[in-house]
Structure 1
Amino acid sequence: MSEVQRAGLQALYPFLADDGTPAGSPAERHEVLAALTESVARKATEIVDLRREMVESCGDQLAACAQAIATAAGRGGRLFTFGNGGSSCDAQQVATIFLHPARGWPVPAISLTNDIALVTALSNDVGFDLVFARQLAALAKAGDVAFGLSASGGSANVVRAFGEARRLGMLTVGLAGYDGGAMATAGLVDFLFVVPSSSIHRIQEVQTTLYHLLWELTQRQLVASESEVGGCTS
């Protein structure tokens, strides 16, 4: 390890020695390791409990949302996903798993954060608040699905996109945290899943679980619909 790396490590983790091991006496090292172990165990328990709470409280809503997405897809609807920062990464993942599922039927999906030239052009020319709404206005139609994510629930461009989606007659699905923020109060989201936490880490971890559940439940609905069609025509 170089001197620069050692200095950087010490600045980030002052409780570590130069070689990356806990600093101090054996008793002090034991105390640091015990604290780190307790922190990891507590966080793991928090996320498991929060995931269980969300699934138990929102199970029926998740199933209904998946049914609505499957119905929209069956009628030729497309899925448009959007979010900022970490939620932008999640929006891209949502589009990816629906468009390229490991099994089952693909759902046409587009992440509105993928085209950086378009995102920066709209941000520069018309304002960042409209960066997703303008794309929906140009690309989407009635019967499509708008899927927005915001850890705070208050992202202005996400809320504006839901407003445009409602104007177009799209199905709207949202994932938020805290108390849902503007996404909860604007009345623009047909299916809103609010993770009751003030920790960005816990919120985004649970949101990952929720959109994977929605994908799996949607796939089940699509498979069931295909089986029913096959049964009627055989």
Structure 2
Amino acid sequence: MTGDSSLGGLDRLYPFLAAGAAVDAAAGGHDAAVLADAAWSAGTKAAEIAELRDQVAARYAEPLAACAEAVAGRLADGGRLFTFGNGGSSTDAQDLATAFLHPRYGRPLPALALTTDVAVVTALSNDVGFEVVFARQLAALGRPGDVAVGLSTSGGSANLAAAFEEAGRGGMLTVGLAGHQGGRLAELAAAGLLDHLFVVPSSSVHRIQEAQTTIYHVLWEAVQHVLAVRAGPPGRRLAQGP
């Protein structure tokens, strides 16, 4: 282990903390310096994501509403939602599927994250190739009227592009979340091969993922709102029967 032993391994994980601590330790301000640096870092990051979310809201308020209408229409007609992504985006894909399948309120909707079946993921990756790990699942499980939602911080993931191409051929509604300039997903959208794309304009993976979390939770809430409006007030729903 390197660095100040009083910090343990923190100097390798957070170099800015170690640098500040080394300067102030001699003056007896070690703890104060660490706390001050941590507070500055947290405040800066919070301000960055707040500004980024404002940019995303200004850019995508109307497109998100249109996307929610389209997704709600598919799900109301019996469609299902499939989500996918790599790494941290895989976790977000699972969170999104859970939000639809087991909502805090509103109507439970059929949703599946394509990253949760380890046997399927590893079999496809080992026997065929990681670039088809989502496309093959959509080919097997998807049907016209379903919805495919893929998340990527770069937008350049080859397996997401393949999945969207497969979903499009199968008559599914396609929704992409990307970062930076949109990468390969932006190319698909420009070619008319991706129905809805939301690009977070940032070069920070962390800020992109935080903003994407906001986007897909807003999408979920908007879908619930659309379905509730279409169903009408509770009294009317009871009168219509099952």
Would you call these one fold, judging by a TM-score over 0.5?
Answer: yes
Unaligned runs of 5+ in 2: 19-23
- Give the drift of 1:173: 0.5
Match of 2:125 in 1: 123
Report the CA distance shift for 1:27/1:209 in structure 2 as closer, same or farther (over 3 A): same
Identity of aligned residues (%): 56
- Give the drift of 1:30: 4.7
TM (norm. structure 2) is 0.86
- Give the drift of 1:150: 0.3
Report the CA distance shift for 1:91/1:185 in structure 2 as closer, same or farther (over 3 A): same
Separation (CA, whole Å) in 2 of partners of 1:29 and 1:123? 48
- Superposed, 1:79-158 pairs within 5 Å as 79-158=81-160
1:52 maps to a residue whose letter is D
Match of 1:199 in 2: 204
2:122 maps to a residue whose letter is T
Instruction: State the Cα deviation string for residues 160-204 of structure 1 (Å, max 9, x = none).
Output: 000000000100001000000000012321110000000000000
2:9 maps to a residue whose letter is G
Match of 1:66 in 2: 68
- Give the drift of 1:41: 1.2
Match of 1:8 in 2: 9
Match of 2:223 in 1: 218
Match of 2:162 in 1: 160
Report the CA distance shift for 1:33/1:8 in structure 2 as closer, same or farther (over 3 A): closer
Separation (CA, whole Å) in 2 of partners of 1:144 and 1:12? 43
Of the three residues 210, 213, 217, the one matched with 1:208 is 213
Match of 1:19 in 2: none
**Once superposed, what is the RMSD of the aligned Cα atoms?**
2.4
1:99 maps to a residue whose letter is L
- Give the drift of 1:37: 2.4
SS of corresponding position for 2:93: helix
Separation (CA, whole Å) in 1 of partners of 2:55 and 2:12? 38
Q: Where does structure 1 differ by over 2 angstroms across 4 or more consecutive aligned residues?
A: 4-16, 26-39, 228-234
